[in-house]
Structure 1
């Protein structure tokens, strides 16, 4: 099997110097007030001197340092009496005391997926421009999504775009409009559809804004505070804050953009995004990605939607069939239904269908561990790839010593519940070099793509860094054992 796999020299390495800013606000109100008093007590000349040194030390690490400091000043401004006049210098200085840097890639850069770039202009003949998403992990094992881009030329050489020193987080916006019907369905799925939620949602239009929702909650609570269910109101706020939009400055390069956790349900990380270029019924394409939001205790499957990798819509996935990791959306509907691979039981490969992209209620097992190198667990390694022969699915198998390998199956094109081909051995197993890392003996991918009769597979090595392999499709299909 190793004869048909070509490992490329190119690697995507972590860079600890790439940092973002995060709020650094003590949980104790007395500490916040003490710190504010100390900074406000400084003379204007001393404040200017400290701020000048800050600019000297940090301005070349952040494109818009002053704006970032002001954002965090605004987070504590409510604790300062309105009667106090504060100069711009002291506002920025206060902001700096409530700011910390975070190195997004300091621990690892792994679990990649790859799709065609939305802009294929000026690409050499036989080549393609790509977008690669990766899971970046920093201090505290908090994960975010970062991107790389470049061109694969006709001989399958990788030319990566340069990676700027700066990293940018996006502006967060709540959805311009929420769908009342879908919102109600989600509350029912969460088990909080009751008198309180019905009163709040019945006051709203079929499509409502975040501010409309907040006003309705306020009015219902004000009218009957003793009869309002606080648990339900908290759940409504949680759901609203789990569905939002983020937008980057469109002048930034793709590799400058980082999707960092912003909502409470993903406070401990955004894990393993599986991007796919999805073709709608009208022939137009959009990019979706499933990912796992983690808050330190629970996971929540989420969905990303984007057309340009500048603006991203984030929404929740609902239903009994999505309560686990490893969701992978098919790149188009099948027989009028959305289709998704999943892993409900932590052991087998499942498939599920739905007429609504955001709700998934049932699943069925399509693949169970068969060979020794996958006895522990199997799962998908990203969205299926459509071929005339069927749906090609990369899979991962876990064997002795918790070693992860990458393999493949082929599903029937019209009925993907049927396996029509399966490799009898791994396509990729970790070699000696790839076994060393943060989590040893693991190679893993979140999505591959097809180019000129070859499979392009970016994959992580022991959860620390990433490389790429190519496989000739004809040889791969020839080696797949027919099912039955």
Structure 2
């Protein structure tokens, strides 16, 4: 049997790390739900009544205190309070003209709160080429990286980070120079449980400062593990697509994020029997006239699925990769969308072995018939070691997508569900390791 401890990994581990950061906060709606009805009135109605009962001087003093405490921590805080008041007024059929501007803004403040979206964890990144490549040298690539951020209540959201990567994995992340801002739903009403939802980032917020939060009941407890891919349609047009898991707190389903510019986003449920499972990753183009996805339909093996529709997946698929080596005996799964190269499709995988230790591997699929596996790594290319074993979930390395930069592949990866590291490898080194 092959001694994997003696096999040298082709990956170069790069120095930078991103970790959970409780100082990154956004303003979020605050909802009063516990003991909702009090004396035949909702707690929200009682709160609004108390604010309206204040005389104008007292209201101004309270709003001034809020302003001193929070205005330097958030952009456009007044506008956010005004918009939140508008939502409350609509829900309560409250006439805005009957409320003074000061009390409108104060009511908005009472129905907002700060949320530290990455206080608990930052993990499971995916990465695509940035829509704007202007001013970039020929051997460099600007990128957008998505990250799963976990905050209070273990609610998962999607955060972003921009950067530039060049040869040999040399990269730089753009600084987060401003305050974080939550993306805004275009219409919070009149949405059915299976309707697509549109959200947009605030015009003054950079991609790196924007966060996508759950907006529907099906997403209530989180948007998990977005797997981004730059998809090329039959007509040559390009669109960014990302499969992710929507978690309501008691059920999961797969959904699809769609965007062309990372300014507006469509969040759309996937239909069909196969969409009930986690960890689906799209191929970056049709193959053989079909959309293809790699997923894990049975909880153990990697499955290849096909569909003639992007948003409907009825095909239960066929097994593509099954656990063969000890480090993947418990289960296997994909680590993002396959990457096309001259030799075929490189698919990064994860395997789970003894003591629930996660490791990364890779496989090569036939370019014209991806159901044919041409090779796979017998040993992990990356496993948690030393201090990287410690974290929210120990002994885990995981990625939701890598990016080809010439003959190099740049791989951001999650570290024990607590931080994000970076690695790179040449395509040739990866292929040479496969059996």
TM-score (norm 1): 0.84
Q: Tell me the residue number matched to 2:420.
A: 466
Q: Tell me the residue number matched to 2:85.
A: 73
In structure 2, distance between residues paired with 1:111 and 1:84:
47
Q: Tell me the residue number matched to 1:287.
A: 240
Residues 1:83 and 1:372: Cα distance change in structure 2 (over 3 Å): closer
More strand by percentage? 2
In structure 2, distance between residues paired with 1:54 and 1:2:
57
Q: Tell me the residue number matched to 1:18.
A: 24
1:247 partnered with 2:259: no
Residues 1:171 and 1:81: Cα distance change in structure 2 (over 3 Å): closer
1:385 partnered with 2:391: no
Q: Tell me the residue number matched to 1:181.
A: none
| 1:19-72 CA distance string (max 9 Å, x none) | 122222323143223322322222211111111111111011111111221233
Segments of 4+ moved more than 3 angstroms: 78-85
Match of 1:58, SS state, is: helix
User: Are the counterparts in 2 of residues 322 and 342 from structure 1 also a CA contact under 8 Å?
Assistant: no
1:155 offset after TM fit, Å?
4.3
User: Are the counterparts in 2 of residues 339 and 351 from structure 1 also a CA contact under 8 Å?
Assistant: yes
Match of 2:15 among 6, 9, 31: 9
1:326 partnered with 2:332: no
Q: Tell me the residue number matched to 2:219.
A: 266
Match of 2:16, SS state, is: strand
Match of 1:93, SS state, is: helix
Which structure has the larger Rg over C-alpha atoms?
A: 1
Q: Report which stretch shifted further, 428-437 or 122-131.
A: 122-131
| 1:78-122 CA distance string (max 9 Å, x none) | 547659932111111122222211111111111000111111111
Q: Tell me the residue number matched to 1:50.
A: 62
In structure 2, distance between residues paired with 1:351 and 1:142:
30
In structure 2, distance between residues paired with 1:325 and 1:86:
47
More helix by percentage? 1
In structure 2, distance between residues paired with 1:385 and 1:79:
51
Match of 1:36, SS state, is: helix
In structure 2, distance between residues paired with 1:125 and 1:110:
30
Match of 1:406 among 360, 363, 367: 360
User: Are the counterparts in 2 of residues 2 and 428 from structure 1 also a CA contact under 8 Å?
Assistant: no
In structure 2, distance between residues paired with 1:150 and 1:83:
44
Q: Which runs of 5+ in 1 are unaligned?
A: 176-209, 215-235
User: Are the counterparts in 1 of residues 221 and 247 from structure 2 also a CA contact under 8 Å?
Assistant: yes
- The residue correspondences of 1:409-428 to structure 2 (distance < 5 A) are 409-428=363-382
Root-mean-square deviation (Å) = 1.8
In structure 2, distance between residues paired with 1:3 and 1:237:
49
TM-score (norm 2): 0.93
Q: Report which stretch shifted further, 71-80 or 309-318.
A: 71-80
- The residue correspondences of 1:185-224 to structure 2 (distance < 5 A) are none
Q: Tell me the residue number matched to 2:397.
A: 443
Match of 2:327, SS state, is: helix
Q: Report which stretch shifted further, 343-352 or 279-288.
A: 279-288
Match of 2:287, SS state, is: coil
Match of 1:92, SS state, is: helix
Match of 2:410 among 450, 456, 465: 456
1:109 partnered with 2:125: no
Match of 1:281, SS state, is: coil
User: Are the counterparts in 2 of residues 434 and 462 from structure 1 also a CA contact under 8 Å?
Assistant: yes
Q: Which runs of 5+ in 2 are unaligned?
A: 1-6
Residues 1:302 and 1:83: Cα distance change in structure 2 (over 3 Å): closer
Figure out how many residues of one structure are paired with residues of the other and give that number.
Answer: 421
1:237 partnered with 2:180: no
Q: Tell me the residue number matched to 2:173.
A: 160
Match of 1:313 among 251, 266, 272: 266
Q: Tell me the residue number matched to 1:134.
A: 147
Q: Tell me the residue number matched to 2:351.
A: 397
Q: Tell me the residue number matched to 1:369.
A: 323
1:476 offset after TM fit, Å?
1.3
Match of 2:169, SS state, is: coil
User: Are the counterparts in 2 of residues 148 and 161 from structure 1 also a CA contact under 8 Å?
Assistant: yes
In structure 2, distance between residues paired with 1:98 and 1:159:
38
